[in-house]
Amino acid sequence: MKVLHSHIMPGALFCLLWLAGSQALAAQSARTRALPDPYYPQLPQGELRLNYYYDRSGNWTKFSDWIPFQQKKFIPTHLEDFYELYGLPHHYKTAEVKEAIYFLELALVHKFRHPRNALCKIENEQEWHKYRLLMHMQINLQIMRMYLRLGSLYDKRQLFFHDLDFADDLEISFQIARSYYHMAIPYWHKARELAAEAGEYRFEIDLPGLESERFAINRGKLDFDRIISRHMLRVESKLGVVQPFLVNEGRPRPVKKAMQQDMEEFNRQNPEPADLGPPQLNPEWKEQALLPDAQG
């Protein structure tokens, strides 16, 4: 009987506790259902929806929208700071490339960090000098590559016969690409000079990527003169097709001229809208509560 009692008592105790808990929960649910739904009477009503629905593209904007949600405490002051800021997303456009050029150009005009805070270990003045040469070489190389990327955004790899319908735009685009390719040349020459000067030191610092770039430039394995000149020749060949076509057909092209006429006709039929006033709540929202459960 004692063994049976020891097996029965825990199960009976569990049943009693479960019944007591369920009764307390039922009583609490009954009291909760007696409260108004929702419980808080100071529920925001329709007028406060102005905080959530308004025209942000107009002349009126809440002051709180001009306050950043997160203050950035980092302030770049040295060359390495700006060098670590530059970068490109996977799908970059002109604005992202120009932003990277901006940070790299700022890096060139700022001083270096203290040697103990450099990007690698510095033990003597010779290593410190080579470190600065390699950093300036790398920054000039990156600026040159950024200008080549800008040129590629305005360049067209292959020119087909049906592309000549947009010969006006292609001519301007090819000229922009050619100007960006031309702007990359001085940075390559500067990087090549710095690589030759850094190569006079017969030791390497703990920046293997930059040392590999320096070695490839000094040995002639990395020659951007040939790469840039090839881009320039391709652009000139495309301009040699587009410009004579425009001379024979006239500027602007009929397709371009028709597009301009359509836009002028559209602007005549649709005058400019009046200036936007302050944001106003839609009338049907004033009769509605913020939450659907608060109706009635």
Q: Write the pLDDT tens digit of every residue in 57-71.
A: 556 555 666 655 565
CA distance 20 to 90: 61
How much is the pLDDT for 51? Answer: 47
How much is the pLDDT for 230? Answer: 95
CA distance 53 to 61: 12
Work out the average pLDDT over 108-121: 93
Answer whether residue 284 is part of any domain: no
Reported as a single tens digit per residue, the pLDDT across 2-15 is 444 444 455 555 55
Answer whether residue 58 is part of any domain: no
Task: Please tell me the least confidently modeled range out of 39-53, 186-200, 256-270.
Answer: 39-53
How much is the pLDDT for 81? Answer: 92
Q: Is the pLDDT of residue 139 over 90?
A: yes
Domains of the chain: total: 1
Task: Please tell me the least confidently modeled range out of 48-62, 76-90, 200-214.
Answer: 48-62
Task: Please tell me the least confidently modeled range out of 56-70, 90-104, 165-179.
Answer: 56-70
Q: Which domain holds residue 187?
A: 79-267
How much is the pLDDT for 15? Answer: 57
Name the CA radius of gyration of the chain, rounded: 35
Answer whether residue 141 is part of any domain: yes
Reported as a single tens digit per residue, the pLDDT across 173-224 is 999 999 999 999 999 999 999 999 999 999 999 999 999 999 999 999 999 9
Answer whether residue 11 is part of any domain: no
How many percent of the chain have pLDDT more than 90? 48
How much is the pLDDT for 83? Answer: 92
Answer whether residue 261 is part of any domain: yes
Answer whether residue 12 is part of any domain: no
Residue 83 burial by Cβ neighbours in a 10 Å radius (0-12, 13-18, 19+): buried
Residue whose structure tokens are 């920054």: 139
Q: Which whole-number Å values give the CA distances from 151 to 39, 40, 182, 192, 213, in the listed order?
A: 63, 62, 9, 21, 23
How much is the pLDDT for 250? Answer: 79
Helix ranges, 35-93 (H): 79-85
How much is the pLDDT for 44? Answer: 46
How much is the pLDDT for 66? Answer: 61
Reported as a single tens digit per residue, the pLDDT across 141-150 is 999 999 999 9
Name the residue with higher pLDDT: 171 or 282. 171
Q: Is the pLDDT of residue 49 over 80?
A: no
- In which band, very low, low, confident or very high, does the pLDDT at 284 lie, cut at 50, 70 and 90? low
Note the pTM of the prediction, 2 decimals: 0.64
Answer whether residue 61 is part of any domain: no
Answer whether residue 4 is part of any domain: no
